[in-house]
Structures are given as structure tokens and as C-alpha cells.
Chains A and B, each alone.
Chain A
Amino acid sequence: MSLWVDKYRPKSLDKLDYHHDISKRLKALASSGDFPHLLVYGPSGAGKKTRILSSLRELYGPGVEKLKIDVKTFVTPTNRKLEFNVISSPYHLEITPSDMGNNDRIVIQDLLKEVAQTESVDFSNIVSNMKPTINKKNKFKVVIINEAELLTRDAQAALRRTMEKYSSNIRLILISNSTSNIIGPIRSRTLLIRVAAPTNIEILSVFNKIIEKEDLLKFLPKDEIEREKLLNNIANYNDRNLRKAILSFEALYMNNDIITISTPLIKLDWEEILKKLADSILIKRSVANIQHIRSILYDLLSHCIPARLILKTLVINLWEFCSINDKKYKIKSKDEVKLKIVNTGSIFDERLSLGSKDIFHLEGFTIKVMVILEKDSL
């Protein structure tokens, strides 16, 4: 049994539900048999990976799905051994070098060098021709690099060299959430493809497809308008992240006999925590609460939730709460407060990327916000 997200994942470019223009272009690229390095960016859950894998399938056929997982070991200059998972098919490799933290440069360099120096040889025709032919189509190997925005500067610089040096037999596809952390030289060496988050209507069309295939209508509201509203709510709540939306739709269905418009939506645990946190920052502006908040922050951080995501979510929550509930929090001039909060948030966001111990900066942000509110409260 697999999840709906996986079960209904389109495998070919033709079956993609939205962004048809991108699909068309990718198809054109794939049919030409060659393509440049790509930088695919867009918010998470927009379908970047799906599009890339579909175009690889277009290019190489279903062989790309015959995957194996290898564990490669690398040795750092300090003689520490690193283990690193590489997923590979005969035609491509998929790596997530940001897993290695500061050692990502070594991984990038060594691995790509190794890949680039072994020319891929096609043995599929060996029986008929008795001679391995270097298929023109398979002249290069594709390397998919996940979470490219998390690569260190060092690694990105190394990547840039590799791109130039081995461009004849290696093609890189970088996947990233935004281009802002990617250095200029790489951006200029790649073809940028932006995959935007699907609109609500597009998400609804995906939902409807699933509903049809899974025969879910009997569990959903009979009234069409109500049903649409419910689905819209799900899509909205999940920030137009398709993956998240489908998963949470499935979770909703699996845990309820019948879904009505009043059925509470599935809320992510950490997001709820951050909402409560934002609320408590606005209400309880005391030292005791700071201690309390520190525990919560430590908890979130220890669950590997990126500090910058925490900060971003907090700022958004605070912004929303200030706009909607300014009476509750006794805010005098909400626009000014909002501006100051965003300003503080951006300062500490930078510090998070510069510093190493996230807790200092997150706590600094909370206190600053508390002080802003303290000064502005009625």
C-alpha cells in the first residue's frame, strides 16, 4: 500500500496536471537528446522533482527507475570517515550533499569527479552488436543535487569548477527552494526553471482526480459547493504545497468516518506549537515566559526543524495575529508594530545564517518582539 502522494504521482510529462508550458519545454529539451545544466527552483511541494524525473524518463525510458542505493565513504582532510548515501540508476545519480554539513565540498568534488571520469557505456546492445557502443544519447550522466540552496559557498565554488571541467559527460540538475543562496556563477551556468506552487484551482483538480480514483465521494459532503469549499480549505491551509495538501487530505480521510465541512483539518504539530508560541509572545511579556519559550525552542530545534523556518513561521504568525487580533493584544498602532516585527525578523534571519548556535538568535528575536510590544501596548 502506498500513499496517495506516491500512488498518484505522474510519471510522464504528459500526465502532469499543471504548468503545461513547463512540461512542453522540458519535453522539447528531452527530445533533443541533450540539455544544459539545470537549476530548478520553486517552493516545496510544487512538483520540481516530479517534473525532473518525468523528463528523465522521457529521455532514458523506464530504466531510470531501476534504482540502487550505495553507501560511499569519503575521507575528510582531518581523516574522518564520512558515509554518504547515493541513489543511482544506470543513467543518473541523486545526492543530497547538504547532509554532510560543512564537508559537502569534498563529497561534491570527489563524487562528481568519479562520475565524470567514468564514461557511461551502454551494454544493452551488446548481444546484437557484440561491441559495446557509446550511445550518443547516453553520452552523459545526470546528477541530481537536492537542496542546492543549502550547499556551502565552498561547495558551490567547487561545483562551478566541476561544471566547466566535465561538461562533456556530466549534466547537473540542481534543485533548490530559491535562487537567493546560490552564487551568481552557478546561476549563470545553468538554465533556470521556475516551478511555481500550484494554484488552489490546480490543487483542486488533483484532489478531484484522487477522489474519482479512490471513490471517495461518499465520504465527502454531498453538496458540491460545500465540497469545493472543504477542498479549498485544505489547499489553503497547506500553503498551496501539493505534497502537504495531498498527505493531509489523506490523513483527514483515514482518520474520519465522514468528512464534513466542519471536520477539523489535520494540523501539523510543529506549526501548532509555533502558533501557540507566537500567541504567548504577544500576551505574556515576562521573563518567566522567556524561559518557557526557550524550552520550546530547544524542543523544536532538537527535532531538526531548521531555525530559519522557525523564525519565518513565527514572523508570519505574529504578523497575522497582529493584523487580526490587535484588540486582544492591546496593540496601539498595529502597522507600526508589524513593520518593526518584520524588521527584527530580518535582522535575526541574517544572524542565523552567520552564527552557529541558533538558540541565541531565536531567543534574541523573541525578546526584541516582546520589547516592541511592551512599548506599544495600550
Chain B
Amino acid sequence: MRKNIQAPLLMAGLTLTLALPGLAQETEPTAPSEESSAQESQAPPASESASTATSSQQDATDPQPSDAPAPGDWAAWGRESHATRHSPLDQITADNIENLEVAWSYRTGDMPEGDHAESKYAPETTPIKVDDSLYLCSAMNIMISLDARTGEEQWRYDPQVDAGAIPYSASCRGVTYHEIPNAGDEQQCAARIIEGTLDGRLIAVDADTGELCQDFGDGGMVDLWEGIGEKVPGWYSVTAPPTIVQGIIVTGAQVKDGQAEDAPSGVIRGYDAQTGELAWAWDMGRPDLDGAPPEGETYTRGTPNMWTTAASDEELGYVYLPMGNSSVDYFGGNRSEEENEYSTSLVAIDVNSGEPVWHFQTVHYDVWDYDLGSQPSLVDFPQEDGSTVPALILASKQGDIYVLDRRTGESLFPVEEVEAPRGGVEPDNLSETQPSSSYHTLAFPDLEEKDMWGMTPIDQLWCRIQFRRAEYQGMYTPPTSERRFIQYPGYNGGNDWGSVAVDTERGVLIANYNNIPNYNRLLTREEAEERNLQPIYAGGDGSDSEEDGPAEGAGDPQVGAPYAIDVNAGWRAPITGMPCTAPPYGGIRAIDLASGETLWDKPLGEARKNGPFGIPTYLPLTIGTPNNGGPLITGSGLIFIAAATDDLFRAINIENGEVVWKDTLPAGGQANPMTYEVDGRQYVVIAPGGHHFMETPIGDHVIAYALPEDE
């Protein structure tokens, strides 16, 4: 669940630094179960606990905006349930983009108060747009509606989330729009906005008024802590927009990494979108349990969770869950068989039964925090004979991109099992092989000593010595305790939560990526004690802020495992704060959708905001910085993306990868942009909120760009 890192650099006599922030594969295709195939055309959820689901029956003639968005809408976090991040809008083009101007801007007012919050803000918010309104959330879960024409606030609902509930980051990537089928216009909450909160609530408010939906849960809220166990604020938090399939809200939660074996469950739950009643629960450790656990019991503790955003296929009734890792990321010896089966897998669940239909693991026995951060994109994948296959594109932190038949989970391209390194503290437990996609990988070749970097020969030499001292056998180097081990790519990817964008008309896949190692070591329990690594339930914030600079994620206690973990994310040298490895630290790549071949590949991000000792260099040189956040593609062939640590928002020509426009943001652009149209005018929106771990300025802005009205 870590998503970011930072690193630094230098050039031409000047020195600079950058911030570097921070998949798997055996398929176990199961033919779609009978009940699922039998119900493609009939929508109502069939599970018993969803008996009230009669009220949420779908009207087949009236699809949800998220399943069939109007051309001018951006109806879900990834634009639609299929999450292509591709809009048909084409008013803004490479030829007229030089005239692009700020049409309106808005500030949520949600800025950190106090040091604790200051060091943890990373809103990562992307508004959605349906009809004439935008809907978004702030870092601390304030739900807001804006007039799409002017950016004026129409309503807001503040759920009053306490700062103590902030987990790794105060993030709210977005909200979800849902219409109750066959509801009258005057019915309250006929259209509703659903949000999951940092303090573990599902909230439904009226899309028109922002008032709580009284028919939903307890006065508009559902408590996600039910069945999780003792409530420890910040340990179980929703940061991603829920996915709604056939009237069922599906959500997981972020379980703060690395705290303890005995951690909140990674259970995935489905709730009726109208009533908020629990429809089903998928607890991998208790497959027989369909709903809530009996009084006094909890869902299976410490299991892999889903912190990121799912995608869905309304017709199949499947939700596609990018699962993370078990709570203890860097030691696997205590994991159950089920955890090893589903950890870091894409799991397809039939929302009518709440049962897994198939799953595809992108790393076996994950002891590297390579959880799936990227939302899958669903496309009709082109075949040589001109036909298409309903497919799903899945990008991983290792950089592998998989294309799977989304009905069965079978890969459309060969997936090779390659021999993996052995050794470390649990050599017998590690998988002998790891998956590798023949379709495409974003990963660079293994590191060599000469890839070490610095400002001068002296820090470069220091990094070369550290390289030689560390355990490194390429990707999947086994974690070690007696010395450091290099994890490359680091836990920020490859591709992370920003996900990829797919343009099926041009047949192009756009993926941005990080290219940064982590420099880690397993700590013995004695060392963890010396460092006073305290889990979140013991009052600590769960991380060691002493070492390695970054305030977060430097160390996790992993209570219950024989080792804690020390992570130098981005592998930065002490004193200078410069990365030990050479740039680029991030890039963006265009890939031919049908073949997986690279069309172009460019570094992403300028060196202007980075430099040694944390001093900005203002050098307008594209070096390729760490990045966090994804792209969008327009019908006119423009890619919009911020993401990098240079606080720039840019448009790139999809044909050749050239930056055709850029603007300076008031805060870090670690959020996905979106685009919409209202009254015949196309807008492109980004909410630059900054990111504590990317070391970019924190903000509460929402900025909409458009061409001048007289054009």
C-alpha cells in the first residue's frame, strides 16, 4: 500500500534532487459459474442477505451513467466502470492547446491542521462529472458538488473525520455516483453519491442536495468496522472510491502496512446500494462465511486487502479486485494457504454470490509489498482476425502488463514462469518461479554497479559500495536481515494506483511508471525494539521516522513476525538526499495495444523542483522524476498527466510523446486528471493536492482548464 517515494539528482555542474516516491500470475481460470452465466441478463442480486435488493433491481433499459457515460461525462473514477481513462471529447487539440486557460478554480478549504496531519496529506482526488455537476471529496472526506459550468460549490457534506483516522495518507481518490433504478425524480436520493471514509464508514448522500440518504444504512451511513475487530483509528481506512456493480457497492479498505500479523481483515464486502445492507462478504480465510461473522468473532485477521480501486463488468456481474498483500508485507512464514493463494492477485468476484470466479496472481509468495495498486482497465481486445475478446488489462508494480480474458482469467498472451532467486531468511518458503508477461513490461534491466549515481564521484562511490554490500539477485531478491537487500523496482512500481489509460480507437495503451529501487533490511526483534518501532495499536504511528529521511514508511514493526522491516524507499543517500541510482526515475510509455510493442517512451518530469539537500534547482530539464497519479487520453489524441514531482500539468501528443502544453500547479499534481463537456465546452480538470511522501506542496485546489469561450 505504499505508493510513493522520492529521490534526488544533479546536472551540468548544478546539482539537483528529485523526489521519488514508492503483479503476479498464475491463472486459475474457472469457467464462469453456472449461476453467473445464467444471470448475465438478469440483474438483481441473488444473495439471501440482499433480500431487500428487490429495491435495487436494475432496469435493463436504463444503464447507470458509470456503465454508459454520456460523451461529455466522466462518470466514475476511471471515467467509467471499465476504467479506460479515455474520453471521446476532442475540442482541445494539439493545434489549439496553446490557448488553453484556467476556466475556473476552486478550493475545498481542507488543508492540514497541525504537524501530524501536515506530514500525511495526499488527497489524490479526481472529481467525477455526471450531467451538469462535478462530485469530489477532499483529503478528509468532505463530499462536495460543484457546478460543472462555473466551479461554484453547490453543496458539501462534512462527515467530520478525525485526524487520528489518517492511515498512511489522508487520501480520498474519489466518490461514486449511483442512480436508483425506476426511482421518481422527486424521490430523495434517487441519484446518490457514495464515499468510503478514512474512519471506515460508507456514506451515501443525495446527489442534488448533499443530504444524507435516510434509506441507506443507519441514517445514511454504514459502519465498515463491523466484524473487523477492535477499532484502532488509522488502521482500517477507505481511500479509494467504491465500485458499484448491479446495485451492489463493493469495497475493500487500506489496512495500514506492516503493523502486525494480527491486523484488520482484508475482507471484501458488498452492500446494497439503496439500503446499505450487507449483501455478502468475501473473507478468503472463511470461504463458508457469506455475510457478517457471528457475534463476538471477526473476519479473518491479517489477510490481503484491497486498498486501491476495482473495476467492473455490469453485464457479467463481475467486479475485478486488485488485491494487495497480507498485513505483514516482508515476511510470509505465518501466512495461511488462502493468503498465499490470493495475495497480490486480481480476483474476479461474482457480485450476485460474492464468490470468486477466477483469480490471477502476479507474484507468488509476495515478500516485497508488490501489491496490485493499479486499477484494471476493461476493453474489447483486438484480435488478428478483426474480432475482439472481452479483456482486462492489468499493470503491476513490477512493471509487467497482463491482458486477461475477463470472463475466465486466462491470459491472451503467454505468461512464463521464470526461475526466481532463492535465499534470505525463509529460503524454503519462497516460490521457485515468478510470472513474467510476454505482452509487455515497463521494467528496466536489472541494476548494475555502474547504474549507481550521485552528484560527485564521492557520493557515487559511496553508492557503489552500498550496491556491492547489499544482497541483490535481480527482481525478487529474497529479503535478508544480516545485510541490506535491493528491491527493484521498488514498491511504487512500475505502475501504481494512477493506473493506465487505454484508447481502443487508436489502439494505444498509455502507462506511466516509476523506476526506483528500495534499499531494505529485515530487522531482528531486538533491533526493532531498540528503534522503538511501535505498531499503531500501541500508540505509535506505526513507522520509524528516525532513519533514512522520509517521515513515513521507513520502518514497520511487523509484530508477530520474527522480523520488522526497514525501508529506504527510493534508495536515497544520506546527507545529500540524492538517489543512489541514475535517472530517469519515472517515465511514460505508449504501447501498441494489439501487440504490446513500445511506440514511444519518454522520461516524465522536470528537475526544476528537485536538487541536492532538498534545494530546488529550477532547471527546466526533463530528467524523469518519481511520479504518482495516472494519465487520461482524449478523443483528439492528447494525453493529460501531472503525477511527477515537478508540480507541472502537461499535455502530451499521443502520436509522438511530445509535450505540447504545460502549466505550473499551485501544489503537487499527485492525482489523476479528468475531462468533461458542458454547454459545448470541454474542460480538463486536475485537483493538485500534493503528496507528503512525494515531498510536493500540499494543496486543496481544483482547477479546470478550457479554451477561451469565443473560440
Real binding pair = no
A interface residues (Cβ-Cβ under 8 A, vs B):
none
Q: Which B residues form the contact surface with A (CB < 8 A)?
A: none
